[in-house]
């Protein structure tokens, strides 16, 4: 996960909903998905 801010609290194992993100493949490792957040992106915790 790449974000503009460095203090986004994504705990390991947490379920979140991401809106307005960009999905790309890591150019150094083609089996790795990169999700980039920008200032207009939104995220919400998902509770089951």
Tokens representing 19 are 């809106």
* Structure confidence by residue, pLDDT tens digits, 9-27: 777 788 989 999 999 998 9
pTM score, two decimals? 0.61
pLDDT of 48 strictly over 70: yes
- Phi and psi torsions of 16, nearest 5°: -135, 155
DSSP labels for the chain?
-B-SSS-----TT--EEEES-EEEE-TT-TT-EEEE--TT-EEEE---
């Amino acid at each position: 996960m790449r974000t503009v801010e460095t203090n986004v609290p994504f705990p390991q194992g947490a379920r979140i909903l991401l809106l307005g993100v960009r999905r790309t493949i890591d150019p150094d490792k083609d089996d790795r998905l990169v999700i980039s957040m920008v200032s207009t992106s939104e995220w919400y915790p998902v509770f089951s």
